[in-house]
Amino acid sequence: MDIPVYSPEDAPVPKGEVVVERLSTPAELAVKMSRTTADVVRFMLDNGEMVTSTQPLTDEMIELFADDLGVKIKLVAPGQEQEAELKALLEIDRGAGGDPQPRPPIVTMMGHVDHGKTKLLDQIRNSNVVDGEAGGITQHIGAYQVRRNGRSITFIDTPGHEAFTAMRARGADVTDIVVLVVAADDGVMPQTVEAISHARAAEVPIVVALNKIDKQNADPTRVMQQLVEHNLVPESWGGDTVTVQVSALENIGTEDLLEHILLVAEVAEISAHNDGLAEGVVLESRLDIGRGPVSTLLIQDGMLRVGDPIVAGSAWGRVRALVNDLGQQMREAAPGTPVRVMGLSEVASAGTPFTVAPSDKVASKVAGVRGYWQRVASLGKDVAANSGGGRLEDIFSEIKAGSPALLKLIVKADTNGSLEAIRDSLGKIVRDDVSLSFVHSGVGAISENDIALAKTTDATIIGFNIRPDRKARSLAETEKVEIRVYEIIYKVIEDIESALLGLLTPTIEEEVTGEAEVRAVFRIRGVGAVAGCYVLHGTIRRGDKVRFLRDGGVIWKGAISSLRRFQDDVAEVRSGFECGIGLSGFSDLKPGDVIETYAEHEILPT
């Protein structure tokens, strides 16, 4: 028999902050904490968790153990500790690249919904062809460039701060300048303020575009006053916020806006190396039947060339083709340029940093190691989750027991970018009493598989810019799976927020609606015992819920089955009138008893 070996109580513990990978097993955690595996397993048992030495632990279990020892820990993603080594591998022989040169600024439009972000983006895109450069056909690749007097500006195609924040959350600060679109007829609105905060948090300069100045009720001065309250003081008033009046609809002021963006870029000295190995961020990616994974990359530094081996997360490959936003094939792409790239081994999520590796071998090795850890993480998560409930029955009892309720979602979207944005925004909805969990999320149409998964996990399906195919739709109908499709991220959030409210157990509030006194009791054939009553207060309605009181005590609860005045069945009787009341399933009536009717209102928590 194995005799478990425990460390002495006063055995020394590691000093300082200890980095622990999520989903570590007791064996791994033990090494980090200078304890034996048996110590960890026994501790878990003492705390009601049965785990084996090789089973992944949840964050809470790990934290509990560390707390008990008094060790400060930092939880990191599985494989994270190796990431530093992998990065070092990628840095080998990376060319220095000479002095930095000015590069095109990368611009994101933000602002309140309907203030004209999309219209302005479209207008600027359309104006591009005028510049006389060899024009191609505009491609929607997630970003586009406009050229003016030999200089370029790159616009991110997904406006709004959801996408912006989703990218930032993944560590990708791609935006150099934020254009804050404010409708001159509507002024500063909640999302305008949010956008300002996001831009400030990212320390990105803001250029204000006062849009819709063509409208009769446009009042730019009033809006500028509102902006001052948020510390955006227009240059014309002596401040340092570039403010341009535009009409996206009538194409007024857009050239002026572009010039000012270039000026701001110059002041901010946005620059990059024009040679050396490229690095940047995956803007969006999707699976193209026939061509495989197709990604839009935004190059932040260095020159990207056809044939370069690149790594993005766990995806890698040689750049097979580079296509710009005008659909033109390129041999190389400079910093600040968005390019569509083919050749990656898998679809990399939006916001994933990419880098050119010194060789194919390094690229495949780095991607392979990362892929391994990702699989560990996703497998481990299931194991860790299953060991601590998460099944449907558990959730019902959880809700009953007053612990947080859980809304499960399957999210499908048209691009990785929108998927990330939705997940990120939904993740921000935090309540103590309800939580969200993503059963699955992915790019592509809502399929029969998704319906099956939703059915088994009791999840709701959210579709963004995509719809279920015919088969999936009919399966959803027979399986009673709920599908909601959207085209605006903001709407998704709004809806889910109200769905979460719906999940909360409402408090039931009672209101007494009527009171009648029993004055006589008689029998009617076919109806049974009937109380001849006088309505003292309120109104008695047929079908009302009833409390039957005798000497002040409730002796029965139920409902009214019949209500009559004279020979007629009536729907209600008001106070001051006589009536006959029959109760369903109760006949022990005596004069002097009181029939109290009441209504129940559900009060939803807000």
Q: Minimum distance between the CB of residue 547 and ligand GDP, rounded to whole angstroms?
A: 54
For residue 407 the two structure tokens come to: 């809304």
Does an H or E element contain 381, and which?
Answer: helix 360-386
Query: Pick from 414, 406, 425, 438: which is nearest to 491 by CA?
Result: 425
Burial 436-445 (b: 16+ CB within 10 A, else e): beebbbbbee
Stretch that binds ligand GDP, among 106-114, 375-383, 506-514, 576-584 (CB under 6 A): 106-114
116 binds ligand GDP (CB under 6 A): yes
Q: Is residue 199 packed enough to be buried (19+ CB in 10 Å), middle (13-18) or exposed (0-12)?
A: buried
Measured between alpha carbons, how far is 169 from 382 in angstroms, rounded to an integer?
23
Stretch that binds ligand GDP, among 62-70, 111-119, 144-152, 278-286 (CB under 6 A): 111-119
Q: Residue type for 23, please?
A: L
Specify the residue, 210 or 407, whose C-beta has the smaller distance to ligand GDP. 210
241 binds ligand GDP (CB under 6 A): no
Query: Pick from 534, 524, 546, 529: which is nearest to 589 by CA?
Result: 529
Specify the residue, 183 or 413, whose C-beta has the smaller distance to ligand GDP. 183
Using CB positions, name the residue nearest to ligand GDP: 116
158 binds ligand GDP (CB under 6 A): no
114 binds ligand GDP (CB under 6 A): yes
Specify the residue, 42 or 119, whose C-beta has the smaller distance to ligand GDP. 119
Q: Which of 13, 64, 113, 342 binds ligand GDP (CB under 6 A)?
A: 113
Q: Minimum distance between the CB of residue 419 and ligand GDP, rounded to whole angstroms?
A: 19
Could you say which residues in the range 473-532 bind ligand GDP, by CB under 6 A? none
Specify the residue, 122 or 275, whose C-beta has the smaller distance to ligand GDP. 122
Kind of pairing, strands 151-156 and 143-148?
antiparallel
211 binds ligand GDP (CB under 6 A): yes
418 binds ligand GDP (CB under 6 A): no
Q: Is residue 333 packed enough to be buried (19+ CB in 10 Å), middle (13-18) or exposed (0-12)?
A: buried
Compute how many other C-beta atoms are within 10 angstroms of the C-beta atom of residue 534.
Answer: 16
Query: Pick from 501, 502, 504, 460: which is nearest to 480 by CA?
Result: 460
Q: Are 185 and 212 in contact (CB under 8 A)?
A: yes
Specify the residue, 180 or 262, whose C-beta has the smaller distance to ligand GDP. 180
Specify the residue, 13 or 249, whose C-beta has the smaller distance to ligand GDP. 249
Kind of pairing, strands 434-443 and 304-305?
unpaired
Could you give the dihedral angle defined by the CA atoms of residues 486, 427, 480 and 470, in that order, rounded to the nearest 10 degrees?
40
Specify the residue, 105 or 116, whose C-beta has the smaller distance to ligand GDP. 116
254 binds ligand GDP (CB under 6 A): no
Only one residue has tokens 């002097």, namely 592
Q: Minimum distance between the CB of residue 125 and ligand GDP, rounded to whole angstroms?
A: 12
**Helix, strand, coil in percent for the chain, rounding step 5:** 30, 35, 35
115 binds ligand GDP (CB under 6 A): yes
118 binds ligand GDP (CB under 6 A): yes
Distances (CA, A) of 594 to 178, 515, 544, 585, 587: 70, 7, 14, 17, 13
Specify the residue, 103 or 212, whose C-beta has the smaller distance to ligand GDP. 212
Only one residue has tokens 């558990």, namely 394
Q: Minimum distance between the CB of residue 493 and ligand GDP, rounded to whole angstroms?
A: 14
For residue 378 the two structure tokens come to: 């996703």
Q: Minimum distance between the CB of residue 183 and ligand GDP, rounded to whole angstroms?
A: 7
Long-range contacts of 518-522 (CB under 8 A, 24+ apart): 518/589, 518/590, 518/591, 518/592, 518/593, 518/594, 518/595, 519/578, 519/591, 520/591, 521/589, 521/590, 521/591
- Report the DSSP beta bridge partners of residue 562: 582
219 binds ligand GDP (CB under 6 A): no
244 binds ligand GDP (CB under 6 A): no
Q: Which of 42, 94, 119, 286 binds ligand GDP (CB under 6 A)?
A: 119
String marking each residue 307-346 x if it binds ligand GDP according to CB under 6 A: ----------------------------------------
260 binds ligand GDP (CB under 6 A): no
Q: Are 56 and 23 in contact (CB under 8 A)?
A: yes
125 binds ligand GDP (CB under 6 A): no
550 binds ligand GDP (CB under 6 A): no
Measured between alpha carbons, how far is 441 from 317 in angstroms, rounded to an integer?
24
127 binds ligand GDP (CB under 6 A): no
For residue 520 the two structure tokens come to: 């006589």
By CB under 6 A, the count of residues binding ligand GDP is 16
Specify the residue, 73 or 248, whose C-beta has the smaller distance to ligand GDP. 248
Q: Which of 35, 161, 168, 212 binds ligand GDP (CB under 6 A)?
A: 212
215 binds ligand GDP (CB under 6 A): yes
Stretch that binds ligand GDP, among 79-87, 117-125, 402-410, 580-588 (CB under 6 A): 117-125
249 binds ligand GDP (CB under 6 A): yes
458 binds ligand GDP (CB under 6 A): no
DSSP 419-458: HHHHHHHHHT---SSEEEEEEEEEES-B-HHHHHHHHHHT
Q: What are phi and psi of 235, to 5 degrees?
A: -55, -40
Specify the residue, 164 or 548, whose C-beta has the smaller distance to ligand GDP. 164
Q: Minimum distance between the CB of residue 182 and ligand GDP, rounded to whole angstroms?
A: 10
Query: Pick from 280, 298, 207, 209: which is nearest to 245 by CA?
Result: 209
Q: Which of 24, 243, 247, 415 binds ligand GDP (CB under 6 A)?
A: 247
Write out the residues near ligand GDP by the rule CB under 6 A.
111, 113-119, 159, 211-212, 214-215, 247-249
